[in-house]
Structures are given as structure tokens and as C-alpha cells.
Amino acid sequence: MKVQAAYIFALTRTLRDLGCDPSTLVQAGRPIDEDGFFRMCEEAVTLSRDPSLALRFGSSLHLGSHGVFGHALMGCRTLRQAAEFLMQHNPVRAAHATVRFSFDQDNVMLTIAPTADLPGAHNFIVESFFAAAVTAISELVSAEIEGCRVEFAFEPAMPVEIYERYLRLPVSFGKAANRLIGPREIADQPLVAAQNAVAEMYVRQCGKLLREQDRAVSYVSEVRRVLMSARGRIPNEHEVARQLNLSGRTLRRRLLNEGQSFQEILDDVRNRLAKAYLGETKFSIAEVGALLGFEDAANFRRAFRRWNGCSPQSFRGGFMDEAGASGEAEFSTSSDEEAPPLEAAT
């Protein structure tokens, strides 16, 4: 799986803030893979020689930095659902760490056990993971998180105040595991996005896209990722190229080499979202068209008929008939019952 360009930008920005020149770390062209990114982190550690690098880097990663994954988290109903999504679709995986989400009688715990480390910064993965997790949770609940703490299995490499400055939580060391602990009830606290009529649908669409990205990463999938990440106005070809650090001409040439054009990818993304909106929300045809960037409903109807051979109204009617016959009209993607511990490689 390729690493988000935003991670690279965050790392280089952190180095600049520390007074270092990150030019030797900059990668041109398509996003690098996980192994390449971890090699970059090793170089950054050597370059900065600052023990706070991982905390600084992790705390600078906001939800938008995680691309499709981050936008899917913004569509989750609860922190429990967000944690379950994390188990299924880690933004950086491979054999670097194992993450668990579990409960006991009083607490909910997010635990990370690294299976690899960075020379000169053995706790880089753990520290950056928790700094990013705390930042993401704070954004999801729209407030600083309270009643939580971080436990580390290692001894501090710098004053405890520095850890607490970036994690914004009480920390302790020499514990049995590296884990973020909070009161059990926080897991099912409704998030702001819980009121969003399309939130559940969006989480499912993002999950599907992430699974497809795992199977095959290409410029076509990178463009599709950028388009799907844009909750709101869909970016044009020039804007997508800029996000991928390419010129418009280079992007067109590389997509052509893979047998597709930007317009074909845009149509595919719009069609996927159109069918999801029509099947899973009560938005009007005009509202769906507007969400997908069409200037008027007539243009959307013509495009939809060209893509699917039927009108949006006919598609919606057929979808509802099928859902009614199968009894599958429920939108929820996770159970309200207690989930067992989950884990995934990160």
C-alpha cells in the first residue's frame, strides 16, 4: 500500500520546524511505499537528532492527512466504529506493529506492539502512532479528550513534560504494554458525524475503495483516491495533479499509459457515489446531482442514463424494491453489542 503524500509533507515540515533541511528526503513522482517511508523516517531521525521528532510528527497529522481513511473516520457514528475501521484499514501497514482494540470491565484500550523499530529511535512507531491517534480522536469529538491516559512499555528518552505537551494526556512509563486507555463509555459516545444522513454510506464506500487500493496501486487508483477524499466539491484535473505532485500533462500521460483518462475515472467515481446516494439516502435527484458537481439536474440525468442505461428515478425505484424484498434496508455497519478485541497489522 502506498503512503499518503501528506505524511511525507508532515515529516518534512516537522524537520523544518526543528531547523533541519529536509531536501534530501523529498521524493518526486508517485507516493512511496511503506518500506520507503520508514527508510525516510530513519533518515529524518539521523538528520534531526531530536528525540521529540516522532511526537511532533504524529501530532501534526490531522484527519485530512490520512486521505480516504481519515475522511471515512469522519463519517463514523462512534469512536468504537472508528476503532473498528482502523483495525480493517490501517493507513500504514506491513510488518511494523500489531494494533488491538479491546475492553475490560471499566476501560477501552487501544494497544500497539511494534514488531520493528527505527535505528536510533526505537520507539518512533509507538510515539508517532499515539500522537496521531490523540489528534484524530480530539478532532472526531471536537474537544480535548478527558479521562484518558497513555501508558508506555519503555522508559522516557526525554522529560515527561515533553510527552504530555504533544499527547495532551497524562503519561506513565515502564508499563506492561503501550496503550491508550479511556473510560469504557467514551467508545459509544455519538460523534458529530452521527447526524450526517450519508455518513454510514460514506464509510462503506471508503472501505471498498481502500480494499481496492490494497489489491492494486496505480495512477488510476491514486486519482480515484483523491476524488473520493474530496467531501464536497470534486476537484478538477489540475487540482488532482497538484495533489499528486505532478503537472497536468504528466498526469494525463501516465493515466493514458494505464489505459484510462481523467474523465473516465471521474465518471466512474461520480457513478459509484450517485448509485450510493440514490440507494441509501432520501436526497432528491437535483440534490444528488449537485453533490456530484453537476450544474443542473438535467445534466445529471443525462450522465446517469449514459452510465447505467436507465434514469436515476428508475434506479432508485429498483433499488428500493430489491431492498424491500430482501429485508436489507438497515444502514448500520457495526453492531451495538460489545465487540470482541480486534487486531490488525499496522
86 or 45, which is more confident?
45
Supply 114's cell numbers: 511494534
284 or 57, which is more confident?
57
Helices (H) and strands (E) in the chain, counts: 15, 6
DSSP state of 156: -
Same domain for 42 and 158? yes
Same domain for 157 and 68? yes
pLDDT tens digits, 234-245? 788 998 888 887
Q: Give the neighbor-by-neighbor strand order of the sheet with 178-183.
A: 171-172, 149-151, 178-183, 107-114, 97-103, 342-345
**Parent domain of 270:** 196-326
- Is the pLDDT confidence value at 257 over 70? yes
pLDDT tens digits, 190-217? 886 555 544 555 556 555 655 555 444 5
Same domain for 117 and 68? yes
For residue 222, the model assigns a pLDDT of 81
**pTM across the whole model:** 0.60
Same domain for 182 and 214? no
Same domain for 89 and 232? no
